[in-house]
């Protein structure tokens, strides 16, 4: 059985993430979508909320396992007999970060491979940070967030929004 892991913060999940998930799932028997917390980021959604959102938008993809880890993704892969990491690459800044991660991961687990999937042209600029910015400024996020979770994403920010601005 060929397994892969697609890790991310997914805070919130975007259509770009969903595109990568659905495409990656076609190449493996089992795709582990792992909500991995990044110590450099303070997530808006809990790990459980992010996993729930991923499950709701991937209900039509039967070979997905949605889980979370606070450990290194490469260790998660080792513990679960996974030797393939899927990553998305949007721009040159992502490239530099992904290349460094690839080197660290290979040093920790020699059998791990990383496959880069490029986003479709309509998703190459979509990021969770941009989604948050749009919400704060009362802009429409429907082109960038799966319809099943738009309400969740908007509600999470609603207390922070001042309707008079």
Q: Is 128 among the residues known to form the active site? A: yes
Helices 128-136 and 150-157: angle between axes, nearest 10 degrees: 60
Per DSSP, helices labelled H in 8-164 are 15-25, 47-57, 73-79, 92-108, 128-136, 150-157
The answer to whether the beta carbons of residues 68 and 157 sit under 8 Å apart is no
Residue of 3, 23, 56, 90 marked active site: 90
Q: Is 90 assigned a catalytic role?
A: yes
Rounded-to-integer distance, Cα 109 and Cα 54, Å = 27
Residues 2, 41, 55, 158: which is the catalytic one? 41
Active-site residue, from 47, 50, 87, 128: 128
The residues annotated as belonging to the active site are 17, 41, 90, 128
């Amino acid at each position: 059985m060929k397994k892969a892991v697609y890790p991310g913060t997914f805070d919130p999940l975007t259509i770009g993430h969903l595109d990568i998930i659905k495409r990656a799932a076609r190449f493996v028997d089992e795709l582990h979508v792992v909500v991995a917390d990044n110590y450099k980021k303070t997530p808006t959604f809990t790990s459980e909320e992010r996993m729930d959102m991923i499950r709701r938008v991937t209900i039509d993809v039967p070979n997905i396992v949605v889980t979370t880890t606070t450990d290194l993704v490469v260790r998660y892969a080792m513990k679960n007999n996974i030797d393939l990491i899927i990553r998305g690459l949007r721009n040159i800044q992502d490239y530099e970060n992904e290349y460094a991660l690839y080197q660290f991961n290979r040093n920790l687990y020699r059998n791990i491979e990383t496959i880069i999937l490029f986003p479709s042209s309509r998703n190459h600029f979509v990021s969770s940070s941009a989604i948050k910015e749009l919400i704060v400024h009362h802009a429409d996020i429907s082109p960038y967030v799966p319809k099943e979770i738009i309400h969740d994403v908007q509600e999470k920010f609603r207390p922070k929004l001042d309707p008079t601005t």
